[in-house]
Amino acid sequence: MQFEVSLIDGSIVIAYLIFVILLGFYFSKKHENAEDYFLAGRSLTWPVIGFSLFASNMSSNSLMGLAGAGFADGFSVYSYEWMAILVLIIFAVFFLPFYLKNKIFTIPEYLEKRFDYGTRAYASSIAIVLNVIVDIAATLFAGGIAMQLLFPEAPLWLIVSVISFIAGIYTITGGLKAVVYTDTIQAIILIIGSIIITVVAWNESGGMSEVLKVVDAGHTQIIKPISDKALPWPGLIGVLIIGFYFWGTNQYITQRSLAAKNKREGQWGALFAGLLKISIIFIMIFPGAFAKVLYPDISPNEVYPTLLFDLLPTGILGLVLAGFIAALMSSVDSGLNSVSTLFTMDFYKKWYPNSDTKHLMKVGRIVTLIVMVLSAIWAPMIVHFDKLWDYLQQSLAWFCPPIVALFVMGVFWNRANATGAKWTMGIGGLFTIVSILFSTIWREADFRPHFLYFATIHFIASCIAMYIGSLSTSAPSQAQLKNTVWTKAEYQQETFELEELAWYKNYRIQGILLIIITSIILIIY
């Protein structure tokens, strides 16, 4: 299937690309040290944090993945989104305060303060691998598939290379500040574009009543029975584990919160992102269902670009296409900046402790360039997966459970120690290998355990390893536990602080309201 873009639409897209590149060069002049480059001088406010979190998550691979899953599997894919809202609330209440209190550059840096450097290096290595092969490469692949509809003669590797180069320019020059401010603009464009797609697809398909004529009754249910192959309800535990890794411990996402002006701005920003994610079922999953009526025979990965190019008129197509590319850029720039920060601060600075901030900024830019090339090389490999969404979630399920165990046990159990962390990494790493082997061996089998079940077992085994390993040696010192372990006293102290604020500024009340809205959606669907 091939589509064409008019001169007007193409001009809108080109103008947008020029704008984001110029914005990167503008912010490049405002960096005085590594904190400015990697964490935007710790100056971000809640609207910017919230929009940037949303835009970085809702990249082109999510747009295509959610629409494709809504087309093939139904509304159950929304469980990843409503679970993310829950995770963001937990993150704001229990984890973000520790991250900000310790003034860390990277999330794995917390693990060094809680356990030891080896634990930090392990978590950082996993994060770098996932950022490259999942976050960045999958985004480039999704964008490349869409662009091939316009340029069918161009090979996929060439398209992803060009996309990677453009995103890399303003990330290398502008650092996190360029990333988050372009993300804010991109999030707004993305939301508007997705609303337009939804409205037009609704009108052209005849709405949900027509969808129900061509799908079974379970297609529009979010929580599916245990017999469902895509997302059985026991798998929601695995969704929670993957969601916690992504939203609570993944540098790719949490770097915006680390750059918050203060704790309140960071907490409000996280919950604002949760509010924005409520809309996803309506503006990103619904269009996939409408495509079931409009294009019943296309593949899931072609659903979103087909809706985009086939339904929208000139001018509007340019705006929505800019939104699609904006989403692509948001994910790529976030991944590039994340890997750059992880490598520079978790490894290079450890190897060369006397490096000044100017030198660290230079190293960060070089790393960004290298990662840009590696991701572009890996992206075409993703074509071997049937559904992009499966690739994204399975990859996280293989690697993230032991990381989640390290953070959860580290924050909530003061007896956890460095020995327990080593046990967790060892057992967790073994389960990662086993999970990958089983997924490969059983890929074509009629029956195979769901990858989300594996993620749950993986997490439980990692926690047990932490428990046994920690009890086998002495407890950590009080100095090591200071500012790294949650206590009821700190929670009560924050309660007193919140009583001085108006109710609508109390992030706990905001969190409760998000839970109520989410519950209503789950009851309806």
- Angle, CA of 208, 212 and 216, to the nearest 5°: 145
Q: What phi, psi does 154 have (nearest 5°)?
A: -80, 135
Helix axis angle, 418-441 relative to 117-130, nearest 10°?
30
Token pair for residue 119? 């634990």
Q: What phi, psi does 265 have (nearest 5°)?
A: -60, -40
Report which DSSP code applies to 215: S
Query: Quick check: 269 and 260 in contact, CB under 8 A?
Result: yes
**Residue 260 bridge partners (DSSP):** 44
The pLDDT value given to residue 442: 61
Q: DSSP for 402-458? A: HHHHHHHHHHH-TT--HHHHHHHHHHHHHHHHHHHHHHHHTTT-S----HHHHHHHH
Q: SS3 for 231?
A: coil
Report the distance separating Cα 524 and Cα 519, nearest Å. 9
The pLDDT value given to residue 43: 79
The pLDDT value given to residue 309: 81
The pLDDT value given to residue 170: 60
CB atoms within 10 A of CB 148: 17
Report the distance separating Cα 55 and Cα 193, nearest Å. 13
> Which residues make Cβ contacts (< 8 Å) with residue 349, sequence separation at least 6?
355, 360
Report the distance separating Cα 404 and Cα 388, nearest Å. 24
Domains of the chain, first to last? 7-352+359-381 (1.20.1730.10)
Mean pLDDT in each 10-residue stretch from start to end of the chain (525 residues)?
74 81 68 63 85 78 78 87 93 89 88 93 90 78 72 77 73 67 79 87 90 86 84 89 89 83 91 93 91 87 82 81 71 79 90 85 84 78 62 79 95 94 94 79 62 90 96 89 87 86 90 94 89
The pLDDT value given to residue 276: 93
Q: SS3 for 478?
A: helix
One-letter identity of residue 328: L
